[in-house]
A and B are shown apart, each in its own frame.
Chain A
Amino acid sequence: MSKLIEARGLYYQTDSGALVFEGLDAEFYAGEKAAIIGPLGSGKAALLRLLMGLDRPQKGRVYLFGKEIDALKRFELDTLRQGIGIVFENASLISNLKVVENVMLPLQYHTDLTLDAVMERAVSLLESVGYRGDVWALPGPLPSYTKKTIALARAMVLDPAIMIYDRLMEGLDMHQSLQLLKFADAFHKAKKDRLSIIIANDEGDIKDTMPDRILHIENRRLF
């Protein structure tokens, strides 16, 4: 199995001076479903940002699809990120875009598909994740579960090789969580070499996802 994400000797301190990681190593492989577990404040979100090159560690290296992030130019990193779909904890939908425009955005930005083709794919993905509302509504007032389904459709739209779910189940009831996990699992299986990383606060949150590996953030490292 090829390594899709690799981190070596990460040392990361926040702007306020808090030490988050010290010598953290991590490897994630094509085709696997990995879970990262850690209590609140353990650095899960920080690790996610470092692995995607959204933040830079003070020491250490991150390789994305075999390429060292620090050695990449901005547009090269942007190109690599097209291979990653991410669902943030709070969905992070673009508030001034309509529901369907949120899902269309990555396709519109990164491809030359016609507007009709982009729209068709976005609507069909929204339907596949169970969105039944008005696709021309603004996402702001929608409930948390609905926002996450839209974020899920947006993350899937470029058919990425890596999917990251950042506390997908946070703030949802059991039924809603299982529903979202079902969509995530189906998407993982739809492509043989897809890597899925599920981030959660504790093992109880991921027991239904049946990951291949569970990694714990402890003492500023990943085990």
Chain B
Amino acid sequence: MSIFAPIGKAILSFLHDLYEIADFVISSLNTFLFHLTAGRRAISGIIYKQVYFTGIEAFSIISWIAAILGVIIVTQAISILPMFGGERLIGEILVWVVIRELGPVFAAIIVIARSGTAMAAELGSMRVNNEVIALEAMGIDPGRYLVMPRVIGTAISTFVLTFYFEIITILGGYLLAGFGKRITFGMYISSVLETMGFTDIIASLLKSIIFGLIIGAVATLHGLRVGKSITEIPQQTTKAVISSLFIVFIVDGIITAIFFI
């Protein structure tokens, strides 16, 4: 067997997964958009709960990780840049590293770990307990009631968390690691603001929304793939995490290439 066969197989499997996710999102979106008023109140309640769980409850962990990351980046930058007289380059480093890349990716990883797993396990358990069939029997479309509110809630939350993560990394990094050093706060902030362009902000926030949609869709898809056995729940949850991470990294690379190459 050629050494290219497993590579080709992996690529085909990835493309098949992407097709399934896109088909799943489009069909759920279809039922959602074409009958906007049906179940509006019940659905808006789920979006609110999802934003609360994925977004608001994650602020604490996001703050810690963002502050620690900020300390690491600022410490390294402050220790290296003055050697070359390049203090003002700190803005470039923060915008390129935090705004363009680490902000959206770290926020996505935290959302996958906290909420992606929870969503996949929750829907998987609903499948095993026949709750999804019960919804269908009541005339409630699971795509509309279970999938879309979670996908939308996760996208909103990831968007907000990314923005918050970037602010805490930049401000927290300076306050904890840069305060009192050779770079003043004014120099630090003006360097970041001068470097940050419209494209950086758009790319970062676009990534966050797309990552949120991917995480919500992949988690709910895998949750609803659980059959009748309870042992399928951890299996599908693991697959949801791996698929989400893989797709998020691939899409991150694609968006970076489109915007910055």
Contact = CB atoms under 8 A, between A and B. Distances in A.
Contacts of B125: 95
Contacts of B122: 96
Interface string A114-127: 01000000000000
B47 to A, nearest CB: 14
Contacts of A74: 31, 141
B171 interface: no
A93 B130 CA distance: 9
B39 A108 contact: yes
Nearest to A115: B41
Given A54-B136, A74-B141, A78-B140, A109 B38 contact: yes
Contact of A84 (B126, B135, B137): B137
Contact of A75 (B35, B42, B137, B145): B35
A109 B39 contact: yes
B139 A78 contact: yes
A135 interface: no
Nearest to B41: A108
B44 to A, nearest CB: 10
B133 interface: yes
Looking at chain B, what size class is its interface with the partner chain? 20 to 34
Given A105-B140, A106-B140, A110-B39, A95 B145 contact: no
Interface in B7-65: 31, 34-35, 38-39, 41-42
Given A88-B130, A109-B42, A81 B137 contact: yes
A89 to B, nearest CB: 9
Contact of A82 (B42, B133, B139): B139
Contacts of B136: 54, 81
* B interface, over-half SS: helix
Contact of A110 (B129, B130, B133, B139): B139
A80 B137 CA distance: 10
Contacts of A105: 42, 138, 140
A96 B126 CA distance: 9
B134 interface: yes
A94 interface: yes
Looking at chain A, what size class is its interface with the partner chain? 20 to 34
Contacts of B133: 49, 54, 88, 92
Interface in B114-146: 122, 125-126, 129-131, 133-141, 145
B139 A79 contact: yes
Given A54-B136, A105-B42, A78 B141 contact: yes
Nearest to B122: A96
Given A75-B35, A108-B39, A109-B39, A95 B137 contact: no
Nearest to A91: B134
Interface in B233-248: none
Interface centre among B131, B133, B134 (most CB of A within 10 A): B134
Contacts of A81: 136-139
Given A74-B141, A75-B35, A88 B42 contact: no
Contacts of B42: 105, 108-109
A90 B131 CA distance: 10
A86 interface: yes
B31 to A, nearest CB: 6
Interface of A: 49, 52, 54, 74-75, 77-82, 84, 86, 88, 90, 92-96, 105-106, 108-110, 115, 154
25 contacts: A54-B133, A74-B31, A79-B139, A81-B136, A81-B138, A81-B139, A82-B138, A86-B134, A86-B138, A88-B133, A92-B129, A92-B134, A93-B131, A94-B126, A94-B131, A95-B129, A96-B122, A106-B138, A106-B140, A109-B38, A109-B139, A109-B140, A109-B145, A110-B139, A154-B138
